[in-house]
């Protein structure tokens, strides 16, 4: 096989894998059509009531946490999926996407939900209190 054809085949295979990933992404794909996205800082982002967020370039925000309404976020994702040629099924899934949260300061997520994180913090505080306070 011709080396150039082999390279082209590998690039096509990689592109198809990337296309599948981008067509199902609902966290950062909505920002990818922005001309300024290559200058943004990495932020923690998550959608709706998800337990796990991700880190990705996101727009500059004024406060520590910002919010993009569901209708606006769906519009951005739909436009992106249509631009790159995602399947009608993937474009239709945009209607299930919730709002997007962006955090730039003191974001501690680590895949731990709200209630479990309170339990962990309480356990640590209780352990310190019993260690420090004499019996």
Calculate what percentage of the chain has a pLDDT beyond 90: 26
Question: Over 80: is that where the pLDDT of 80 sits?
Answer: yes
The more confidently predicted of residues 32 and 1 is 32
For residue range 5-22, list pLDDT tens digits in order: 554 555 556 666 788 888
Give me the sign of the Cα torsion angle 9, 83, 90, 31.
positive
- CA neighbor of 42 nearest in space, from 27, 21, 59, 56: 56
pTM: 0.68
For residue range 59-75, list pLDDT tens digits in order: 888 888 888 999 999 99
CA distance 55 to 42: 6
């Amino acid at each position: 096989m011709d080396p150039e054809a082999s390279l082209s085949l590998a690039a096509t295979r990689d592109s198809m894998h990337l296309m599948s990933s981008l067509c199902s992404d609902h966290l950062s794909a909505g920002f990818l059509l922005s001309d300024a996205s290559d200058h943004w800082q990495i932020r923690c982002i998550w959608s709706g009531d998800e337990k796990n967020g991700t880190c990705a370039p996101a727009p500059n925000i004024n406060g520590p946490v910002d919010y993009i309404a569901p209708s606006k976020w769906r519009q951005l994702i739909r436009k992106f999926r249509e631009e790159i040629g995602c399947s009608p099924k993937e474009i239709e899934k945009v209607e299930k996407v919730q709002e997007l949260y962006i955090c730039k300061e003191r974001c501690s997520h680590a895949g731990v939900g709200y209630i479990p994180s309170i339990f962990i913090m309480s356990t640590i505080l209780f352990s310190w209190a019993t260690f420090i306070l004499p019996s």
